[in-house]
Structure 1
Amino acid sequence: MAETIAATTSAEAAADGDPTRLVVPRWPLSSRLKYAVIAFLWKRLILKPLLYYSEFKKYFIPPGENEPDHVKAYPVRKSLKVRIFFPPSYNPSTSSPETTTKLPTLLTCHGGGFLVGEPHDNDAWNRAFAKRHGFLVIALDYSKGPRHRFPAAVHDVEALVGCILADRSLPVDAARVAVAGWSAGGNLVLAASLLPSLRGRIRAAVPLYPLLDRATATAVKTRTRRYKPALGGFRARDGDFVAPMMGLFDWASLRPGQRCDDPLVSPCYAPREHLPAGVFLIGCELDMLAHEAWRVACRLAGRRVPSLDEPVGREEAGGKGELVTGGDERFAWEEETAEEDGGLRVRWLLVPDTVHGFDQSNIEGLVKDPVFMEDARIKTVKVIDLVGEWLLSGPLQATKS
């Protein structure tokens, strides 16, 4: 597959819509200076004060219901704390690792373009999942660019997952471990699962609107999503709000000369046999990253891979809170191979009429669109239910003794 990609040697070529970029170009000095300034302002003058303010409030305001039950750091990555969510059925103060029933475990990885983001971004999602499905949910962290570029974040995830699987103080059922990640986090959990230390130890992966193909240019990706002005509000925009940030994210996380067809950079190039036995890919219809998730799902399932001139989804809008889970294979399907062929499961879900990050707690301040938020909240709950049901009925199904 990589042989079909034509190399480009400049940032301008990619910006002009050249469909592929085999090697990361050296950014012009003007771009490097611009991105450095933006990254500094964003991380140091905006996000860091907000994080300090959030931590400061905890001294005066009782913790909310979505706070983790425990926060822990491992010696291998002392600065990267994990956030642990127990299901209601588990009481860590009265349970012991020797006597308690082991729990199906979901390890989650936040997004943020490899540049920003924190594990607490997904506290509400993680708490809801643990509560609704009886899972032990652990949110991972990773080092960010531009100080830490590829492959630092992939190896951070690898190290933390390895520590969690070896941690006897946690009720992890080592035979029922799955990973999930949003956007850049979806990239990282798939990439980490390819590494020899974790290969075969992760039963399933659930990438949500993931960045899987870092070779195809942004200008090409923006033509593969749907645009629906009839929806009104934030969703009616004629451009993708993620697109202007892609150059910054690439600069912050990848070095010039890095090959984009490396599976640890672009998991879309990973051999199927190296991935977890179950993969559930979730895309958003109004997202420039949806098409690559769709292509990966089709390739892994042995289906026809859609071309880049086939937009995802449909032209017409759906109903409020609607998920299409059957009858229309543009939106949902599942393939499973026989046990003698490896027992592989691949599922595809396209969430209609919604944008990248629809299920994030911080999206409301960005979109300022109550109609969209009402739709997004309904769909978030439905997606959480679908993911849990799929894991427990398939890849993480309890074995009968």
Structure 2
Amino acid sequence: MADAISATAAMDTAGSETAGLVTPSWPLSKRIKYSIVAFLYNTLLLKPMLLSMSLKKYFSSPSEKDPDLVKRYPIRKSLTIRIFFPPSHRDNNNNTTNNTSSPTTTNAKLPTLLTIHGGGFTVGQPHDNDGWNRTFSQRHGFLVIALDYTKAPTGPFPTAIHDIEALISCILSDPSLLPLIDADRVALAGWSAGGNLALAVSQLPSLRGRVGAAVPLYPVLDMVTPRDVKARARRYKPGLSGFRGRDRDYLLVMMSLFNWAYLKPGQRCDDPLLSPIYAPRDCLPKSVFVVACEMDLLAPEAWRMACRLAGKRVPGLDEVVGCEEPVGKGVLITEGDERFAWEQTSGDSRVRWLLVPDTIHGFDQDLIASVVRDPVTMEDARIKTAKTIDLIGEWLLEGPLRVSA
């Protein structure tokens, strides 16, 4: 990885020995620009959207996607967790949306999946993944708990990491949840920025040995490599119609704003808590399942990290993952082609790679439909989301999730 760092630094136009490795001090004009953009984004887009969603939720009937329980802990009063019980543990008569009572308990303890939403470290809410969390809990019998964190720029790096650490510590010592949680089967999953945070928080000494597996989905892993380099290595498929056939990744527009909000000037970008691709293998969970979207500028770094963790050849920064031709509606390639899927086991270490064909960043998110506005893309995404949920659940249940430290 040292070679990758050196190569990336050499590509940076600043010309400094630490170019690409240290967050620059933003010029006043750029700070003003991003401050205005962030204000307008929150005021004109985000807040009205969240208000609309809240009003719709308030006046509509309870949804099957809604959590069974919503809780807060005194240590982080502003942050909520959303809890989803599997059918065997749900009290169909008494549980309602935002119920704050104690959960129905049985003698059986449950494998537990803690999930972390995405949003470039600056936006998003735990309820963004209610549908995914509910489906996963129902299909695989997991207790699923969605976590929250302080958003940048109010909470720049590493605020979110320590928010999540505090919430996990509370959850794993909560007297009302302890009868349900199987401490030997606890896993972390996260989307995009949430995938980054899942791998970051699992490195902290307080959680090592308590989280047995991590499932980063299309994660942000490498803050060193410039976005333009990432975009050049991204797979493009002009053979696909609609939103997926575009020749520019929609993330490019937002990445500079996200980085400005999350990173402080002078921050080392190769810090493993910021860029988990540089984390030592023994600091991460024993089992890691990396999921990426084929047409996503973050896919190459996910591919490199999976290969590094598994001891495989690490692809170069200019290598494009996937294939040129469309794979087909609803099709996942799970064997026979290592560009798309493989699993490597060595002792108690397990690494799995899955590249979801013909999909864009955020394909499994309910909110992506408002961005894409393309029924063909969304139908393909719906099928692949269900299949991906099944693969993740089956993989987590294949063996014990935690190896004691």
Aligned to 2:273: 264
CA contact (8 A) 2:161 2:197 kept: yes
Deviates more, 1:268-277 or 1:26-35: 26-35
Taking the aligned partners of 1:20 and 1:308, their CA distance within structure 2 comes to: 17
Aligned to 2:313: 304
Aligned to 2:107: 100
Aligned to 2:98: none
How many angstroms does 1:251 deviate by? 0.3
CA 1:383 to 1:96, structure 2 compared with 1: closer, same or farther past 3 Å?
closer
Letter in 2 for 1:79: S
Taking the aligned partners of 1:91 and 1:237, their CA distance within structure 2 comes to: 44
CA contact (8 A) 1:20 1:216 kept: no
Aligned to 1:160: 167
Taking the aligned partners of 1:131 and 1:99, their CA distance within structure 2 comes to: 17
Query: Which digits, 9 at most, give the CA deviation of each residue in 1:249-298, with x for residues without a partner?
Result: 10000000000110010000111011001000001110000010100000
For 1:41, what is the secondary structure of its paired residue? helix
Aligned to 2:99: none
Count of residue pairs brought into register by the alignment: 392
How many angstroms does 1:52 deviate by? 2.5
For 2:385, what is the secondary structure of its paired residue? helix
Taking the aligned partners of 1:4 and 1:237, their CA distance within structure 2 comes to: 29
Aligned to 1:42: 41
CA 1:23 to 1:120, structure 2 compared with 1: closer, same or farther past 3 Å?
same
Letter in 2 for 1:380: T
Aligned to 1:69: 68
1:359 to 2:364 alignment: yes
Taking the aligned partners of 1:335 and 1:22, their CA distance within structure 2 comes to: 31
CA 1:313 to 1:114, structure 2 compared with 1: closer, same or farther past 3 Å?
same
How many angstroms does 1:22 deviate by? 0.4
Taking the aligned partners of 2:251 and 2:23, their CA distance within structure 1 comes to: 19
How many angstroms does 1:63 deviate by? 1.3
List runs of 5+ in structure 1 lacking aligned partners.
Answer: none
How many angstroms does 1:394 deviate by? 2.9
Deviates more, 1:25-34 or 1:247-256: 25-34
CA contact (8 A) 1:19 1:217 kept: no
1:143 to 2:145 alignment: no
CA contact (8 A) 1:190 1:275 kept: yes
How many angstroms does 1:2 deviate by? 4.5
Task: With the length of structure 2 as denominator, give the TM-score of the two structures.
Answer: 0.92
Letter in 1 for 2:386: V
Aligned to 1:386: 391
Decide which of 134, 137, 140 is 2:141's aligned counterpart.
Answer: 134
Aligned to 2:29: 30
Task: With the length of structure 1 as denominator, give the TM-score of the two structures.
Answer: 0.93
CA contact (8 A) 1:297 1:347 kept: yes
Taking the aligned partners of 1:337 and 1:312, their CA distance within structure 2 comes to: 24
Aligned to 2:349: 344
Decide which of 114, 123, 136 is 1:116's aligned counterpart.
Answer: 123
Taking the aligned partners of 1:328 and 1:125, their CA distance within structure 2 comes to: 27
Letter in 2 for 1:324: I
How many angstroms does 1:54 deviate by? 2.3
Aligned to 1:231: 240
How many angstroms does 1:190 deviate by? 0.6
How many angstroms does 1:53 deviate by? 2.8
Taking the aligned partners of 2:73 and 2:81, their CA distance within structure 1 comes to: 9
CA contact (8 A) 1:226 1:312 kept: yes
Aligned to 1:375: 380
Aligned to 2:13: 13
CA contact (8 A) 2:4 2:317 kept: no
How many angstroms does 1:60 deviate by? 2.3
List runs of 5+ in structure 2 lacking aligned partners.
Answer: 96-101
CA 1:192 to 1:31, structure 2 compared with 1: closer, same or farther past 3 Å?
same
For 2:89, what is the secondary structure of its paired residue? coil
Letter in 1 for 2:36: V
- Identity of matched residues, %: 64
How many angstroms does 1:397 deviate by? 9.0
CA 1:200 to 1:246, structure 2 compared with 1: closer, same or farther past 3 Å?
same
How many angstroms does 1:172 deviate by? 1.0
Taking the aligned partners of 2:163 and 2:307, their CA distance within structure 1 comes to: 29
How many angstroms does 1:200 deviate by? 1.1
